[in-house]
């Protein structure tokens, strides 16, 4: 009996030890949820749930409600905030889901990004005016040559260039020749380039201040749409004249972003939406070069806030008003040494200094075309024809309100002070 008791205890101990030693089984992981592409019927049903149709979005942007009185705790003062209506919220939600599809690559880009090429500068008459914006006094020349064109500035520029020169997407941001051809195919060899200059190059330049690329594109297209619909109203002698929203809380979804009000006012001034326009002139040198680069001029590097911070870390963002050309010419000189175009020497260091993968602007058009096509039910070709070329309908994207930190400063020429 005593033996049985001992054996029993040994058996019990062994069983306990085995229990302790038994490997703990890992929790079975559920397979990752495969994202499902939003369907046409879902889009139609979602819009219908707030009283919208696709035709509504073709005709106009979602209606804007009166602003909401709000209070800024940091500034200690009241302000009027944009009111997001159920219709606007629904459109934003749909765009967010479509953007997830785009990020996964679940769409067919309208333009082949790898085949991008410059617009034809021979179609335009854009004199090079900003390279000569240099100081006249010798002591001032010496000052800015040291700040903007000294050895340290050149070294920082070349460091940025070397960091991204092997990225095939870091150059060619301004190559929009494929889009220019759409204007020519639709409007002819004379009017096509003229409208491409106004509705793409100049509109982008007018609304570039502090904007990420998608916000910039959407503000430009909003300005184009309002100008076109106002012109159509005059031609038809309509009783109703479309109004240009100049305050952020008045702007429809998806228009918004940093300095949105200032940018739209610049667009009105330069493009002549509600009156006579001045055009994009060298009085705003950064905007002038920005527009020229979209027109295919590769000899005019754009000196924006990010370029200035790389060239002169003590700079507030914009080059001195009488020394823009000093910085621009330094970039051109370093481009010649590297055997690349001046605009390449702006684009590539831009991506290199930020440590981001490049993204040509034609990609931003591809994404906006896709979102607009899916929201409205129009083919991508019709979106290009009616939205971009003829500016007779809205374009939709992902940006609204202040852009996220991840978007700001990620594309050349897009993150700058208002100049």
- pLDDT tens sequence across 251-303: 998 998 778 999 999 999 999 999 999 999 999 999 999 999 999 999 999 99
Q: For the residues 371-389, what does the mean pLDDT come to?
A: 97
Q: Which residues, at least 6 apart from 367, have a Cβ–Cβ distance to it below 8 Å?
A: 99, 102, 214, 397, 398
Exposed/middle/buried for residue 369 (C-beta within 10 Å: 0-12, 13-18, 19+):
buried
Q: What CA–CA distances, in Å, run from 399 to 73, 255, 285?
A: 25, 7, 26
Query: How far is CA 168 from its chain centroid?
Result: 19
Query: Residue 72 — φ and ψ, nearest 5°?
Result: -90, 110
In tens, the pLDDT along 11-35 reads 454 454 444 444 544 556 666 666 6
Share of the chain above pLDDT 70, in %: 86
Average pLDDT value for residue range 144-157: 96
Q: Which positions ≥6 away from 338 have C-beta within 8 Å? A: 158, 161, 345
| pTM score | 0.86
pLDDT in tens, 168-213: 999 999 999 999 999 999 999 999 999 999 999 999 999 998 888 8
CA 308 to chain centre: 20
pLDDT at 20: 46
Band (407; pLDDT cuts 50, 70, 90) = very low
pLDDT for res 210: 82
pLDDT of residue 34: 61
Cα separation of 376 and 47, whole Å?
Answer: 10
What pLDDT, on the 0 to 100 scale, is given for residue 31? 61
Average pLDDT, rounded, for the chain:
88
Q: For the residues of 110-140, what is the DSSP string, one character each? A: SS-GGG-----GGG------STT---SSHHH
Under DSSP, the state recorded for 299 is T
Three-state secondary structure call for residue 245: coil
Rounded CA separation 76/183 (Å): 49
Does the N-terminal peptide bond of residue 254 adopt cis geometry, omega within 30 degrees of 0? Answer: yes
Calculate mean pLDDT across residues 298-314.
92
Q: How far apart are CA 158 and CA 153, in angstroms?
A: 9
Answer whether residue 245 shows pLDDT above 50. yes
pLDDT given at position 21:
47
For 77, the 3-state DSSP assignment is: strand
Element (H, E) at 43: helix 40-48
H/E element, 152: helix 151-164
Q: If we measure between CA atoms, which residue out of 201, 204, 371, 376 comes closest to residue 292?
A: 201
- Range of weakest confidence among 91-105, 307-321, 395-409: 395-409
- Cβ within 8 Å of residue 247, ≥6 positions away: 80, 261
β-bridge partners, 71: 78
* 3-state DSSP assignment of residue 70: strand
Q: What is the mean pLDDT of residues 94-101?
A: 92
pLDDT at 404 exceeding the cut of 50: no
Per-residue pLDDT at 9: 43
Q: Within 10 Å of residue 346's Cβ, how many Cβ atoms?
A: 31
* Residue 350, both tokens: 């831009």
- Asked whether the predicted pLDDT for residue 226 surpasses 70, the reply is yes
402 φ, ψ (degrees, to nearest 5): -70, 130
Residue 416 clears pLDDT 50, i.e. is over it: no
pLDDT recorded at residue 11: 44
φ/ψ of residue 77, rounded to 5: -150, 155
Residue 393 and residue 386 in contact, taking contact as beta carbons nearer than 8 Å = yes
What percentage of the chain has pLDDT greater than the value 90?
A: 74
Q: Give the best-scoring range by mean pLDDT among 142-156, 209-223, 401-415.
A: 142-156
User: Of 48-57, 204-213, 271-280, 329-338, which range is least confident?
Assistant: 204-213
Q: Read off the pLDDT of each residue in 65-93 and give the average, rounded to a whole number.
A: 92
The residues, any chain, with a CB within 8 Å of residue 369's CB and separated by 6 or more, are: 110, 380, 383, 384, 387, 388, 395
What integer pLDDT is reported at residue 27 of this predicted model?
A: 56
Rounded CA-CA distance 230/20 in Å is: 80
Most confident among 26-35, 63-72, 198-207, 352-361 (mean pLDDT): 198-207
CB 181 within 8 A of CB 389: no
pLDDT of residue 300: 97
CB 383 within 8 A of CB 375: no
**CA 11 → CA 4, 17, 20, 271, distances in Å?**
10, 10, 14, 92
Is the predicted pLDDT of residue 5 greater than 60, yes or no? no
Residue 29 pLDDT: 66
DSSP state of 359: -
């Amino acid at each position: 009996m005593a033996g049985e008791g001992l054996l029993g205890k040994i058996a019990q101990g062994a069983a306990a030890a085995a229990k302790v030693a038994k490997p703990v089984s890992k929790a079975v992981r559920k397979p990752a949820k495969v994202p499902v592409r939003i369907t046409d019927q879902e889009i139609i049903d979602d819009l219908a749930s707030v009283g919208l149709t696709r035709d509504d979005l073709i005709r106009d942007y979602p209606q804007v409600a009166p602003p909401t009185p709000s209070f800024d705790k940091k500034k200690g003062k009241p302000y009027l905030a944009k009111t997001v209506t159920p219709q606007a919220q629904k459109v934003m939600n749909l765009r967010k889901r479509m953007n997830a599809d785009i990020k996964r690559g679940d769409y067919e880009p309208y333009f082949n990004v790898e085949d991008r090429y410059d617009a034809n500068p021979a179609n335009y008459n854009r004199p090079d005016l900003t390279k000569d914006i240099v100081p006249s006094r010798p002591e001032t020349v010496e000052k800015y040559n040291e700040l903007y064109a000294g050895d340290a500035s050149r070294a920082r520029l070349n460091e940025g260039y070397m960091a991204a020169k092997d990225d095939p997407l870091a150059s060619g941001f301004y190559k929009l020749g494929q889009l220019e051809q759409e204007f020519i195919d639709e409007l002819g060899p004379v009017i096509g380039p003229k409208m491409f200059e106004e509705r793409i190059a100049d509109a982008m330049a007018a609304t570039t201040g502090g904007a990420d690329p998608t916000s910039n594109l959407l503000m430009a297209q909003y300005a184009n749409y309002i100008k076109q619909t106002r012109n159509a109203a005059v031609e038809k002698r309509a009783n109703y004249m479309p109004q240009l929203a100049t305050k952020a809380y008045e702007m429809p979804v998806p228009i918004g972003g940093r300095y949105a009000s200032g940018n739209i006012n610049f667009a009105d001034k330069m493009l002549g939406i509600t009156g006579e326009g001045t055009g994009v002139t060298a009085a705003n040198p950064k905007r002038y070069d920005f527009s020229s680069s979209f027109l295919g001029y590769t000899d005019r590097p754009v000196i924006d806030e990010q370029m200035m911070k790389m060239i002169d870390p003590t700079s507030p963002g914009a080059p001195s008003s009488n020394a823009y050309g000093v910085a621009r010419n330094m970039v051109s000189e370093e481009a010649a040494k590297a055997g690349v175009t001046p605009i390449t020497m702006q684009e590539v260091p831009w991506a290199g200094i930020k440590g981001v993968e490049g993204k040509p602007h034609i990609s931003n058009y591809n994404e906006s075309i896709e979102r607009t096509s899916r929201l409205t039910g129009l083919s991508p070709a019709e979106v290009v024809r009616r939205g971009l070329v003829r500016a007779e309908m809205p374009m939709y994207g992902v940006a609204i309100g202040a852009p996220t930190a991840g978007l700001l400063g990620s594309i050349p020429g897009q993150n700058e002070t208002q100049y």
